[in-house]
Structure formats: C-alpha cells, structure tokens
C-alpha cells in the first residue's frame, strides 16, 4: 500500500513539475515498515495505516489497540534490534503519539520537498 501511494505521489508531483526530496520514497517505506512491524509485534491487533501528503510532507498514521507507549532506547551500535524508534526519530521531522480509549495513534511527518 505504501509503495503504491509513493509511486502515485511521485507521478503526480512529476506531472506538476515537482520533485521528491532524494531518498524520500525509501525513507517513507522504511518508516511505514517500522511502525507497522512494531504494531504487529507488540499489540494484539488490529492496526490501521493511513498516509497523506501535502506540498511539503507525508504524514504516516498508525493506530493500534495497545495503550502502551513505544520504548525509546539510547543509540547503541552493538545492540541487535530495537532500533526502530531511533530510525523513526532520525528520519521524521515530527512525531506525535496520542493515547485514546481504543489504543494509541502514532503520527509522523517526513519531508518530501527539496
């Protein structure tokens, strides 16, 4: 779904004479993968993914059924795994986590304009 979204966004922007920031599509696919994987691994399900684009950013939203907040670990190049939040926070211009009665909503914004 994210790949199809990014292909359509790239085509639409190209038709408007606009480029994507180099590497933006790959970064967005990586962040989607990290967020959805975390939701699947750490909650009982279900998971809802949403992607929206404006002129400068793509917002990725993932809602899951757990109210537990993600764990943040200090960077450690010797640690195997658990680097997802590190990656997300490096790539995203903004991160917001909103608990709600049915779980939590995680929203992240990635820049797409050069």
Tens digits of residue pLDDT in 70-111:
888 888 889 888 888 999 999 999 999 999 999 999 999 999
Running DSSP on this structure, what letter comes out for residue 68?
P
- Residue 25's nearest CA partner among 56, 58, 63 is 58
CA atoms of 2 and 50, how far apart (whole Å): 9
What pLDDT score does 47 carry?
A: 94
Place of tokens 């926070």: 89
Say if residue 15's pLDDT is above 90: yes
Inter-residue contact 89 to 95 (CB < 8 Å)? yes
Q: What is the pLDDT of residues 26-65, one digit of tens each?
A: 999 999 999 999 999 989 889 999 999 999 999 999 999 9
């Amino acid at each position: 779904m994210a790949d199809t979204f990014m292909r359509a966004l790239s085509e639409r922007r190209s038709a408007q004479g606009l480029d994507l920031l180099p590497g933006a599509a790959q970064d967005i696919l990586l962040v989607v993968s990290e967020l959805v994987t975390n939701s699947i691994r750490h909650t009982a399900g279900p998971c809802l993914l949403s992607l929206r684009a404006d002129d400068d950013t793509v917002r990725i939203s993932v809602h899951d059924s757990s109210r537990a907040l993600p764990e943040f670990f200090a960077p450690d190049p010797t640690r195997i795994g658990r680097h997802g939040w590190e990656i997300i926070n490096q790539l995203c211009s903004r991160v917001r986590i909103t608990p709600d009665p049915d779980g939590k909503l995680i929203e992240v914004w990635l820049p797409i304009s050069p």
